[in-house]
Amino acid sequence: MSKVASRIDAAFARAAAENRSALIPFIMGGDPDYATSLAVLNKLPAAGADIIELGVPFSDPMADGPIIQAAGLRARAAGATLARVLEQVREFRRANTSTPIILMGYGNPFFHYGMDRFAADASHAGVDGVIIVDVPPEEESGFAPALAAAGLHFVRLIAPPSLSTRLPALTRQASGYLYLVSVAGITGTASASAETIREYMQHIRRHTNLPVAVGFGIKTPADVRALNRHVDGIVVGSSIVSLMEHAAADHGNAALNLVQQMAAGLRE
Q: Higher-confidence residue: 137 or 243?
A: 243
User: What end-to-end distance do the CA atoms of the chain give, in Å?
Assistant: 34
Q: Higher-confidence residue: 201 or 250?
A: 250
Which residues are annotated as catalytic? 53, 64
pLDDT of 12 above 50: yes
| H-assigned helices in 166-246 | 167-172, 194-204, 221-227, 238-244
Instruction: Kindly report, residue by residue over 186-239, the tens digit of the pLDDT.
Output: 444 555 677 888 888 888 988 889 999 999 889 999 999 999 999 999 999 999
Instruction: Return d(Cα 111, Cα 229) in angstroms, integer.
Output: 37
DSSP 127: -
Q: What is the mean pLDDT of residues 22-33?
A: 98
Q: What is the mean pLDDT of residues 15-29?
A: 98
State whether the Cα torsion 22-13-7-180 is positive or negative. Answer: negative
Instruction: Return d(Cα 37, Cα 182) in angstroms, integer.
Output: 27
Instruction: Kindly report, residue by residue over 148-181, the tens digit of the pLDDT.
Output: 999 999 999 988 877 777 888 888 888 999 999 8
pTM for the structure as a whole: 0.94
pLDDT at 2: 47
Domains of the chain by range and CATH? 2-266 (3.20.20.70)
SS3 210: coil
Non-local CB neighbours of 77 within 8 Å, separated by 6+ positions: none
